[in-house]
Amino acid sequence: MKKSKLIRIVLLSCSPLCLAAAIILFAEGDIASGVCGLALAAVLIFFGLRKKKTPPAMKPESSPLSNSAPVAPPEPARPNIPAATIAPPAPKQPEAPPAATPAVPVLPAVSGYELKYKYSEVNIAGSAHYECDGLSIGKMIDFVPEPDNEHDPKAVAIFYDGIKRGYLPANQLQAMYHDFRARGGDAIGIITRLGSGSLQMLLGFYVKTKKPATEGKTLLQDNKKAKVFRLSGRVSDDMLSSLSIYEKGDGVEYEFDYTKGKYLATIGGDIGYFPKSAEALLEAGAKAFIDRIDYDSEKDKYTVYVALFPTEG
């Protein structure tokens, strides 16, 4: 109920009381008080019956945009601060990476050699007859030829940590191994699968990287003045493992060995003595280069031939 309506009801309820009091006063002869009672009753009735006028509701003015499509908000004011001076928002924190998966074995890069052929999922022959304890994926194995093998003189055993694990398959891969080794190349094997009788490897065959033409190689190709000499004496033990990496045209140094009375040839280590017939050229300061290196597998012996070029003048 509204407050104004409640007030009108109260005023109208009080007006009969005032009217009755005025009549009683007139009856008693109190004319002045009776008049006041009538006036008060009239005032109460007037205000109780009076209604407050409300102004007419304002009709909203029609807008020219009221029937049109919504208007996009205005673009913000162009900032005066160059964008370059505003610090970028903090970068979003990267999500946690997924659980790492085992790395796939790959063949390594070898200085001085290049990978020529690669074979994956190569079965290691006979692995069921040998233990595989200590092996794990990614381990590099060793190849050990067995020329005294009564079943196959060309057999190549596979070792890891000094323990035989099986053999290189007796097929084209076995032939390639011997061929690459004879030409100064090599093979590398990496375990890719484990299991009794199911060992597998990644196998790569490497060849020597071709060197750019050297002075010695150029002279050997274009100069007919070279004289080739066979060195004598056994190659020093520290050179046996690395002599195969040298090739035709590589430079050779020499010095006179007073204990032997001969000129000693060196190329990172002692490789033999020159014959007496080469002394005149050596004393004249001839240039020396590798002509060829022969290897006798039966005697396990290297024989080195050196070309000498007389100095001009």
Domain ranges across the chain: 3-49, 113-208, 215-309
Q: Where are the beta strands (DSSP E) in 68-224?
A: 113-123, 140-145, 156-160, 163-167, 186-193, 200-208
According to CATH, what is the number of the domain 113-208? Answer: 3.30.70.2330
pTM of the predicted model, to two decimals? 0.41
Q: Do domains 113-208 and 215-309 have the same CATH topology?
A: yes
Q: Which residues are CB-contacts of 241 (< 8 A; sequence separation ≥ 6)?
A: none
The pLDDT tens digits along the chain (313 residues) read 556 667 777 666 776 777 777 677 667 777 777 677 777 767 767 766 666 555 555 554 444 444 445 555 444 444 443 444 444 555 666 666 665 555 778 998 887 888 989 999 999 998 888 887 888 899 999 999 999 999 999 999 999 988 999 999 999 899 999 888 887 888 999 999 987 778 899 999 998 876 655 666 666 666 667 899 999 886 665 566 556 667 788 889 999 999 889 999 988 778 889 999 999 999 999 999 988 888 777 777 788 999 998 877 5
- pLDDT the model gives residue 86: 41
According to CATH, what is the number of the domain 215-309? Answer: 3.30.70
Tell me which H or E stretch contains 263.
Answer: strand 262-266
CA distances for 68 relative to 60, 72, 73, 85, 135, angstroms: 17, 12, 15, 42, 79
**Dihedral sign, Cα of residue 196, residue 198, residue 201, residue 203:** positive
**Which two tokens mark 208?**
């020597």
**Dihedral sign, Cα of residue 98, residue 101, residue 105, residue 108:** positive
Burial 187-222 (b: 16+ CB within 10 A, else e): bbbbbbeeeeeebbbbbbbbebeeeeebebbebbee
